[in-house]
Structure 1
Amino acid sequence: MSSHSTSSSSSQDPTWDLGDLTIHRIDEVALPPQTGPWLLPAATPDVVAQAPWLRPEFADDAGILRLSSHSFAFTADGLRVLVDTGIGNGKTRANPAWSNLNSDYLARLEAAGFPPHSIDLVILTHLHTDHVGWNTYADGAAWKPTFPNARYLTARTEWNYWATADMDESRQQMFRDSVHPIREAGLLDLVEIPAEGTDIAPGIRLIPTPGHTPGHLAVEVRGSTATALITGDCIHHPVQLLQPGIGSCVDIDPQQSAATRRHLLASLADTGTLLLGTHFPAPTGGLVQSDGDSYRLTPLLGAPEQHRP
C-alpha cells in the first residue's frame, strides 16, 4: 500500500519519499489571486466547477485558481540538486507581485538541509523570471551566484532562443541580474536534450517539454521505490489535467504547449509516477489518474507506491 503521510506542517516544507531519496518542496511565496485569471484565462470558474476535486486545495470557492512559487531540492546518489530558483529577493520586476520580494526562501532551503554552498547542481526548467531569480543575490551593486559551488544547467535550445530573441527591457533586466552573472562566472552548462530525454546523473533524467518556451524541460527523478516528474511550466496548474488544451497567456507556442501536455499526461496516467507541479499550491504533488476522457490529480504526500507492470 502507498504511504499517504501528511506529517509536514507550516514550519516544515513538505517532502515526498522515493525510497533512497526524498524530494523537498522549498516554498518562496503564494501568488496573488489575480494570477490565475491572468495566467490561464480559459480556466474560468465554470471550467473549475466541472472538477470538484480541484476544491478547496487547488481553487477557492469562487473558482479562482490557487498558485504558488517554490523549488524542489533532493539528493540523488550524493548529488545535491535544486530544481528552479523562483523569483528572488530585491529584484526590480514588471510584475508588482514579484518586484522587490523579501521572502525567507534561503532560510527554508537551509532548514531543509540544503544551505546554498552545499548545492552541487541547479536545474533550470526554462529561463523565465520566476524560475531563475535565486540564481543570484545582491552584493552591493553586483549580482553574485547564490550557489557558488553548483553547476547551473539548462537546455541549449532554451539558451539559443533567448540569445536571439527581441526582449523588452524588463526581460533584459532579468537576464542581467539573474542569468548573465551565472554565465560570466563560468557556472552555466547547456545540455542537448534529445526527444527521448537524457540522463544527466544517476536517477535524474531531463525530458524535453517544449511549447511554453522552445527549450523547456521537465525533470524525472527516479528513486529506489518510486519515480517523480517535476513539471516546470509545461503544466502550471492541475486544472490543465481536466482540460490539457488550456494554455498559459505567456506560452511562446500555444499549440506545441498543448500537444506536449497531452503527450506527457498520457504517459503518466495510472502509472503511479508522482507529479510535482512547480506552481501547484499545497499539497503540490499527486498521481495522474484517468478520469473519463481526461485526467485528475489525486493529491499525495509521503511515499508513492511505484506502479508495477
Structure 2
Amino acid sequence: MNLETKMSLENTAHTGRPRLDELVPSRYAVRIGEIEVLVVSDGVLPLPTAMLGHNIDPAVRATWLKDMFLPADAFDWALNVVVVRSGDQTILLDAGLGIDPDLHLPRAGQLIKRLEAAGIDLASVTDVVLTHMHMDHIGGLLVDGVKDQLRPDLRIHVAAAEVKFWEAPDFSRVSMPPGFPDALRATAKRFAEEYRSHFRLFDDEYEVAPGVVVHRTGGHTPGHSVIRLASGGDRLMFAGDAVFAVGFEHPDWYNGFEHDPEEAARVRLRLLRELADTGEQLVATHLPFPSVGRVATDGDAFRWVAAFWDY
C-alpha cells in the first residue's frame, strides 16, 4: 500500500504471523478525501444460481454463467462490510451474517474476527448504518459477546420503513431457498428486540457524519438504503443489495431476495445510471471482494470496471 492510502485504519492493523486459514486478502483500504474506508470480507454465501434472475429463461441464465466462467448450479456470493472513519466517528456499514441460523453457511460470518485482525476495537464503533435488515447485514451484532463489547451509546441508523416492514414481513414475491424466509424473520425479530433502544430512525435521508449520508431507496426491501461518502471531490457509494454482479448487463433480472422485484429493478437502473454519469466509486455487499470499482455504460447496458489494486 502506498503512502497516500496508508491511513490510520491500516496503521492500527497488527496482523502478526500469517494464519493458515487466511490465505487470501480479507480487507482493503481506500481514501475518499478525508474519509477513511476499509472494505472487510465477511466471507462467502454459497447460493443457487437461480437466485441471480428467477424471472428469465434458465437457458439464458446458464449462458451468462458460462460466459462468466461460473458454475451452473451454485457459486459463492461475496459478503462485504465497510468500516468508515469520518472525523471522530467510526461507522460500520452493515454487520455481516455473524451467526449460522441452521443454514449451513460455515464460510460466512467472518466479520468479528477480521475486525479484530485489523486492530479495530468494537468499543470504538460509534455508529452502525444498516442498508436493510436481512440477516447477512445484521447478524454480526448478534454473535455471543459482541453486544457487551459495544458502546452503550452506540447509534444504529436504519430507515423507519425497514423497521416497520419486519414487524410483519411479506415474502410473497421472493424466490429464496428453503429455510431462508424463516431464518430472516427470526433474525430480524431478535435484532429488533435486542437493539431497538439504539435505533435512530430516518425517513428518506440522514447525515450520519460529515460526508456520510444514508438515502432510502426501497425496492430490495421497503427500507433498503444506500450510503454515499463525499469528501474533497471524491465520491463512493455503498449500495448494499441494490446491485449484484449480473445487474450491470441485466439490471432487469430479479434477484431472489428482492421483496419488490419490479421496484428493485427500477432502483438498480437509476443508481447505475447515476454512477455511470458521476464516475463515483461503488462498493456493494455481493460484488466480488473488494468490490471497489466504477460503472460505465455499454450500449443499453452497463459495465463493471474494477479498480486497480493499490498496495
Structural mapping, 1:116-195, within 5 Å:
116-139=122-145, 144=147, 147-149=150-152, 150-165=154-169, 169-183=182-196, 186-193=197-204
Question: 1:215 Cα shift?
Answer: 0.9
Judging changes above 3 Å, is the alpha-carbon distance between structure 1 residues 68 and 83 closer, same or farther for their aligned structure 2 residues?
Answer: same
The alignment yields a C-alpha RMSD, in angstroms, of 3.0
Cα separation, 1, equivalents of 2:168 and 2:73: 39
Percent identical pairs in the alignment equals: 25
Equivalent residue for 1:28, pick from 42, 51, 71: 42
Q: Which residue in 2 is equivalent to 1:45?
A: 62
Matched, 1:248 2:251: no
Instruction: In structure 2, give the amino acid aligned to 1:251.
Output: E
| Cα drift, residue 178 of structure 1 | 2.8
Q: C-alpha offsets along residues 225-276 of structure 1, whole Å, 9 cap, x if unaligned? A: 41100011111x2220111101211211111111111111111114220010
Count of residue correspondences: 278
Alpha-carbon shift at residue 122 of structure 1 (Å): 0.4
The change in CA–CA distance for 1:30 and 1:172 in structure 2 (over 3 A counts) is closer
Deviations 1:84-116 (A, max 9, x none): 111113x424x3326xx7754223113334211
Q: 1:230 to 1:35 in 2, by over 3 A?
A: farther
Shift of 1:285: 1.4
**CA shift in 2, pair 1:148/1:10, >3 Å:** same
TM-score (norm 2): 0.79
Q: Distance in 2 between matches of 1:266 and 1:13?
A: 28
Quote the Cα distance in structure 1 between the aligned partners of 2:304 and 2:98. 29
Unaligned runs of 5+ in 2: 11-22, 172-180
Residue segments in structure 1 that go unaligned for 5+ positions in a row: 304-309
Does the 8 A contact of 1:18 with 1:222 survive in 2? yes
* Aligned counterparts, 1:45-64, within 5 A: 45-48=62-65, 55=68, 60=70
Is 1:88–2:105 an aligned residue pair?
no
**CA displacement, residues 47-69 of structure 1 (integer Å, 9 cap, x when unaligned):** 346xx6xx4xxx53769665211
Are 1:79 and 2:85 matched, yes or no? no
1:141-290 matches, cutoff 5 A:
144=147, 147-149=150-152, 150-165=154-169, 169-183=182-196, 186-193=197-204, 197-235=205-243, 237-290=244-297
- 8 Å CA contact 1:145–1:181 kept in 2: the answer is no
* Structure with greater proportional helix content: 2
Task: Tell me the SS of whatever aligns to 2:167.
Answer: helix
Q: Does 1:298 pair with 2:309?
A: no
